[in-house]
Amino acid sequence: MIAFGDPFGLFVLLAAPSAAAVLALIPYPAVSQAVARAGAVLAFAAAAVLLATGATGRWGAYLGLDPLSEVFLLMVTGVYATSIFYSRGYLEHVARPFLTPQVYYALLSAFAFSMIAVLVVTDLGLMWIGVEATTVASALLIVLERRPSSVEAAWRYTLVASAGLTIALFALLLLYVSTGTLDALQLAANPPAVTLPVEMAVALALVGYGTKVGLFPMHSWLPDAHSEAPSPVSAMFSGVLLPTALYAFLRVYRVLPSPAPAVITDLLLAFGIATALVAAFLIQRQRSFKRLLAYSSMEVMGLAVIGIAIGGVALYGALILLVAHAFAKSAAFYCGGNVLRTTGTNRIDEIRNLRETMPATGLAWVVSAAAVTGAPPFGTFLGELLIVAGALAAGLVWVAAVVVVAILVAFLGVNSQIGRMVFGEPLVPPRPVATDSESGWGFAYLNLGVALAIGVAALPYLSPALRGAAVFLGGSLP
């Protein structure tokens, strides 16, 4: 149950980023930045304390915590904090920013607040509002660098994500009519009878929220938005926005009894496999490294959905994968941001020899590429291993085979492309590079350290919450 001090933790979680979103508009850039940083650090500290104390339960009519939300909160606030800190160096190199630093920090804080809100509300309608609010808060951030392609990306993102969320809202209407409530905890505790409208609601929620998760074929906004947004925002998109949208779906999915009806798990498997395979093969033909990273995120989301469909150990693996990927992918985007600032391009063919021109960033980039694609001993490796093991244990040998193929294809694609940029022979003539733009790589190493720790050391700390989350979602763990 939620103990005496926990409402304060929840209060800090919600108040810190929302206050930062307002106060960051103060017309002094240094103060604005300090306020945004303070808000992010406070939110992360609150999430860490809530996870460490294992506070679960309901607070009031609309707020609540359980292991699933606590794990996601740590992930969101962690990446939010490092992205806020990384932003300073990045903003200094944007030539004609569309937003002032104050508005940028305010929107980034509002974006984080909306994701945190999704994770702490218990009402599925409020959760939907939170997911929609992420679109409103983040759309303008994509346009920061004032390129025509950024405008197109923002437009496509807003429209496609909103169209998907409208379908999700239809799903909630169906669910409400069928069950008479939208209280996620109540529905999870007393699952309604599995009727056709309930199944349709879950299926529509998969399509609706799946649009925001980046599931194939509703993914068209994802590579554009991730590649056109400034790198700290891309890090939050890839690392935590996609899992947050998946979390919203999981809350609807949880209204089904365990094991879920075959029609729903088959649907999840179909979307997951299609997404992982399509993304893995699209990775091979990318010319922009930011799009490369975006498709890599899409592949990971596909793998996570496969793990959720299988349940049990695979579901546990999917949760580990999501958390470790969030930190590793944000590290990769920070490195990409440094490279973009230094070379002025995101074209893979125009970047070589980073090991000499940007040694600190180059090394972090190679390591983060390995981390996001599931190399041992990172947490992503553990997560993917458990998904494959779960598929085999469930007798789904062909699914395990498909997962292995997707993992290998994505691994080769991402690592070979980033390896070429870091270790490739210098271009002749060499491309002119900006100097003094290799700042912020410390945050990449920090997040890589977290992804590594999840794989080798931190699991005992995270495991109770992760196991609790997996069991809550319907898994039975050995």
Partner 1 sequence: MDGSAEVVALVGVGILLTALYLQSESFVDPLIRGIAVQSLLLAVLLGWLAWTTQSVDLAILAGLAVAVRAGLIPYVLRRQIRAFRWRMRELHAAHRVTGHALAAVALAIIAWFVFQQTLASIFPQPGAALPFVLLVEGLLMLATRSNTIVQVIGYLEEENAVVYAGALFAQGFPLFVEVVVFLDVLGVVLVAVILSIQRDVTGTLEEAALEELAG
Among 173, 363, 392, 393, binds partner 1 (CB under 8 A): 173
Q: Which is nearer to partner 1, 5 or 347 (CB)?
A: 347
Minimum Å distance from CB 258 to partner 1?
A: 24
Q: Does 162 bind partner 1 (CB under 8 A)?
A: yes
Q: Does 110 bind partner 1 (CB under 8 A)?
A: no
Determine the interface stretch with partner 1 among 136-144, 243-251, 326-334, 350-358 (rule: CB under 8 A): 136-144
Minimum Å distance from CB 24 to partner 1?
A: 19
Minimum Å distance from CB 136 to partner 1?
A: 6
Minimum Å distance from CB 361 to partner 1?
A: 24
Q: Does 196 bind partner 1 (CB under 8 A)?
A: yes
Q: Which is nearer to partner 1, 149 or 476 (CB)?
A: 149
Minimum Å distance from CB 471 to partner 1?
A: 28
How far is residue 284 from each of residues 19, 265, 289, 414, 473, measured CA to CA in Å?
A: 43, 29, 11, 8, 34
Q: Does 263 bind partner 1 (CB under 8 A)?
A: no
Among 37, 212, 251, 291, binds partner 1 (CB under 8 A): 291
Minimum Å distance from CB 69 to partner 1?
A: 19
Q: Does 287 bind partner 1 (CB under 8 A)?
A: yes
Q: Does 29 bind partner 1 (CB under 8 A)?
A: no
Q: Which is nearer to partner 1, 164 or 307 (CB)?
A: 164
Determine the interface stretch with partner 1 among 2-10, 52-60, 285-293, 438-446 (rule: CB under 8 A): 285-293
Among 151, 360, 385, 389, binds partner 1 (CB under 8 A): 151
Q: Does 197 bind partner 1 (CB under 8 A)?
A: yes
Determine the interface stretch with partner 1 among 286-294, 307-315, 320-328, 374-382 (rule: CB under 8 A): 286-294
Q: Which is nearer to partner 1, 59 or 98 (CB)?
A: 98
Interface with partner 1 (CB under 8 A), residue total 52
Q: Which is nearer to partner 1, 166 or 476 (CB)?
A: 166
Binding residues (CB under 8 A) for partner 1: these are 98, 123, 125-126, 128-129, 132-133, 135-136, 139-140, 143, 146-149, 151-156, 158-160, 162-163, 166-167, 169-170, 172-174, 176-178, 182, 196-197, 200, 223-224, 227-228, 282, 285-288, 291
